[in-house]
Amino acid sequence: QEAANTLGVPLFGQIPLVPALRVGGDDGTPIVVSDPDSPAGAALRQAAQRLARETRTLIRKPLSLGVAPKPGAANANGSPNGHETNGSNGHAGHVHEAAPEAGHSSHAGNAHEGHDHSGHGH
């Protein structure tokens, strides 16, 4: 409450810090799914509902609260991490922006048509 007062923002909830909350965060299973009736699960759900109500009143549209896919999960076309695949263990049409590294030696047999490797080492 003190931080909310200092920052001049509303306090949407106080979540009990219990081990199950941390374990669920590590495992990727939110406590609102694994133990929704626990004090932490109920507090998170109530905070999310209050956030949605408050946001709706400010912009006059409901706020959609969804669950993002886990990293590495397949997207709608079945490929991981939002990449389109070209069927030959490669990716088509996206850009890797990374620090320059030497070599592309691991590309043997893995086509990457339309794929910019500038500064991307494999």
Backbone angles phi, psi at 88, to 5 degrees: -125, 45
Distance CA 70, CA 72 (A): 6
* 53 and 94 in a common domain: no
**59-82 CB burial, b ≥16 within 10 A, e <16:** eeeeeeeeeeeeeeeeeeeeeeee
Count how many domains the chain has.
2
Tens of pLDDT, residues 83-118: 444 444 444 444 444 444 444 434 444 444 444 444
Rounded to two decimals, the pTM is: 0.45
The parent domain of residue 88 ranges over 84-122
Residue 70, in any domain of the structure: no
- Which amino acid, residue 110? N
Tens of pLDDT, residues 14-54: 999 999 999 999 999 999 999 999 999 999 999 999 888 87
Residue 68, in any domain of the structure: no
- Which amino acid, residue 69? P
Say if residues 119 and 97 touch (Cβ distance below 8 Å). yes
Residue 72, in any domain of the structure: no
Cβ atoms within 10 Å of 39's Cβ, excluding its own: 13
Residue 26, in any domain of the structure: yes
